[in-house]
């Protein structure tokens, strides 16, 4: 059986005498076919993560090289991605939930947007050269080389983010559709492992060369992502889905239904806050850490190696965290993690003043935020209606990114007027994580009233009980 190809469930007598099997929807796996499925999904995730981490850090390094302000960095890198997710994510995810075709409901969309993301990365590689060309062409009328280069970055970064963030919920929807629910925690632990490996490779070996070898870094990432993600799409097979009872309809009807189903129940509002507030807290810390390092005279190479150390520590605990999430529930493990995060960022905000103390704060922030992200990775899958997963997943990221798209520029503006005191990002993260803890405790109490870990049924999910 090919990975992910639907096959009929064995009869009870056959099942008792055969090797263990796992099922999700109409898909059934043996250990061997489950291993093949995991390989291709993880290979696709590796290429995805190299794209995400490599492009982001290289662009940030180049923005600083071309004298971009904290506000420009906050808007370009901190606001454009969430704006794209807020606008495009719901449309694509809602329509993929309702799509039925010979290749499934997720893969056709992923195959269509991959070349667009690759084109955006290639455009970023040529942005400095295009800026220099336009500067010469405009002559005395040129606003300046740096301004033109940053302008080209805005164009190609936007194209890149349209495809990359547009496909984010759909990629997670594919995982939700093809991975057995009883293994989601451990699978996302492996997902996190692959993500960390990609981060280690890039930050240890490549980040120090981002300002000088950006052209080849961008082209290498484009090649890896284009071939890697496409091969995953062609190898992973989706099963069959129940027929849709309603058409997606025109865009206005779709939006109305989407908003009513996702935001019309207070339980999901608490869920969105619990899931989204930590990401809002993490965003400016991650966004300005590279500027923080430069402000205290830490080289990009040293900064990259500390990031690699962070990811290596996280790598060592990622699978175990996935097991803990399966054992005790993602919500409970994530509440412990966000409590720890509030403490370590408070310390960083108060004491990270030298390269040595900043290194401690950087590693602590990265490890503990990674613990939270690993533990919470399967939370959406176990709390929202399964057949409308991509729709609710994108709604989660709308709530999160509305916060990020406002918060990052405000933080950039604040830092520009606070003598670039980057410790403020850590202090703000500590406060926001406490708010996340409060909303998470409310969510947990409602979760227990809805059946808890063993008898939970998602509000609005009339089709099935969630495990």
**Nearest residue to 386 (alpha-carbon basis) of 450, 321, 463:** 463
Spatial separation of the C-alpha atoms in residues 227 and 47, rounded to whole Å: 8
Q: What angle do CA 285, 222, 412 make, to 5 degrees?
A: 20
261: in domain: yes
Q: Report if residue 462 sits inside a domain.
A: no
Are 352 and 360 spatial neighbours (Cβ–Cβ below 8 Å)? Answer: yes
| 304, burial (CB in 10 Å: exposed 0-12, middle 13-18, buried 19+) | buried
Query: Do the domain assignments include residue 409?
Result: yes
User: What integer pLDDT is reported at residue 12 of this predicted model?
Assistant: 36
The answer to whether 378 and 254 have CB atoms below 8 angstroms apart is no
Bridge partners, 28 (sequence order): 23
10-residue stretch averages of pLDDT, the chain, 467 residues long? 40 47 90 93 92 86 83 75 72 81 91 95 96 94 92 91 81 88 79 81 84 93 96 94 69 74 90 94 91 90 90 85 86 95 97 95 95 87 81 82 85 90 96 96 94 86 45
Question: With the CA atoms of 38, 42, 43 and 49 taken in that order, what torsion angle do they form, in degrees rounded to the nearest 10?
Answer: 170
463 lies in a domain? no
Q: How far apart are CA 381 and CA 221, in angstroms?
A: 30
Provide the number of structural domains found in the chain. Answer: 1
- 304 in helix, strand or coil? helix
Q: Which domain holds residue 258?
A: 30-240+247-455
Q: Is residue 178 part of a domain?
A: yes
Here the CATH number for the domain that contains residue 51 is: 1.20.1250.20
Report yes or no on 357 lying in a domain. Answer: yes
Residue 182 lies in a domain: yes
Q: Which helix (H) or strand (E) holds 292?
A: helix 266-295
Ramachandran area for residue 21 (φ above 0: left; ψ -120 to 50: alpha; else beta)? beta
pLDDT value for 2:
41
Residue 369 lies in a domain: yes
**Do the beta carbons of residue 428 and residue 355 sit within 8 Å?**
no
Q: What is the distance between the alpha carbons of residues 184 and 46, in angstroms, rounded to a whole number?
A: 18
Across 57-79, b (16+ Cβ under 10 Å) vs e yields bbbbbbbbebebbbbbbbbbbbb
Give 69-73's long-range contacts (Cβ < 8 A, gap of 24+): 69/412, 69/416, 70/288, 70/291, 70/411, 70/412, 70/413, 70/415, 70/416, 70/420, 71/409, 71/412, 71/413, 71/416, 72/150, 72/412, 73/287, 73/288, 73/291, 73/412
CA distance from start to end of the chain: 26
pLDDT the model gives residue 466:
36
The answer to whether 204 touches 302, Cβ cutoff 8 Å, is no
Look at residue 245 in the predicted model and tell me its pLDDT.
66
């Amino acid at each position: 059986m090919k990975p992910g190809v639907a096959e009929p469930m064995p009869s009870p007598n056959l099942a008792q005498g055969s090797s263990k099997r796992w099922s999700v929807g109409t898909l059934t796996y043996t250990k061997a076919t489950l291993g093949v499925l995991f390989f291709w999904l993880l290979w696709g995730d590796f290429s995805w993560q190299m794209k995400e981490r490599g492009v982001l850090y290289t662009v940030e390094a180049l923005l600083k090289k071309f004298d971009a302000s904290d506000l420009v960095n906050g808007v370009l890198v901190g606001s454009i991605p969430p704006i794209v997710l807020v606008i495009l994510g719901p449309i694509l995810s809602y329509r993929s939930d309702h799509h039925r075709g010979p290749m499934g409901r997720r893969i056709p969309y992923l195959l269509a947007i991959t070349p667009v993301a690759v084109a955006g990365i290639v455009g970023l590689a040529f942005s400095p050269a295009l800026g220099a060309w336009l500067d010469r062409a405009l002559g005395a009328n040129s606003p300046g080389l740096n301004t033109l280069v940053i302008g080209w970055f805005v164009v190609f970064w936007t194209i890149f983010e349209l495809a990359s963030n547009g496909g984010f919920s759909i990629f997670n929807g594919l995982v939700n559709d093809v991975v057995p629910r009883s293994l989601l925690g451990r699978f996302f632990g492996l997902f996190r492992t692959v993500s960390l490996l990609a981060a280690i490779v890039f930050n240890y070996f490549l980040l120090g060369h981002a300002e000088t070898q950006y052209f080849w870094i961008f082209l290498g990432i484009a090649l890896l992502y284009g071939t890697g993600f496409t091969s995953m799409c062609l190898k992973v097979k989706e099963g069959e889905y129940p027929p849709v009872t309603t058409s997606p309809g025109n865009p206005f009807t779709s939006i109305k239904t989407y908003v009513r189903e996702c935001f019309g129940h207070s339980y999901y509002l608490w869920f969105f806050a619990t899931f989204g507030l930590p990401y809002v807290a993490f965003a400016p810390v991650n966004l300005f850490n590279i500027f923080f390092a430069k402000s205290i005279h830490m080289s990009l190479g040293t900064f990259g190696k500390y990031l690699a150390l962070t990811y290596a520590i996280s790598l060592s605990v990622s699978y175990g965290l996935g097991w803990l999430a399966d054992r005790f529930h993602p919500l409970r493990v994530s509440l412990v993690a966000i409590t720890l995060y509030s403490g370590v960022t408070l310390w960083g905000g108060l004491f990270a003043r030298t390269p040595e103390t900043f290194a401690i704060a950087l590693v602590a922030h990265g490890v503990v935020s990674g613990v939270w992200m690993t533990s919470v990775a399967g939370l959406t899958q176990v709390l929202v209606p399964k057949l409308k997963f991509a729709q609710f997943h994108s709604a989660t990221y709308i709530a999160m990114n509305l916060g990020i798209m406002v918060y990052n520029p405000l933080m950039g503006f604040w830092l520009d007027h606070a003598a670039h005191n980057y410790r403020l990002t850590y202090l703000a993260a500590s406060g926001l994580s406490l708010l996340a803890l409060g909303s998470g405790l409310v969510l947990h109490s409602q979760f227990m009233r809805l059946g808890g870990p063993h008898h939970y049924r998602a509000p609005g999910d009339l089709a099935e009980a969630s495990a």
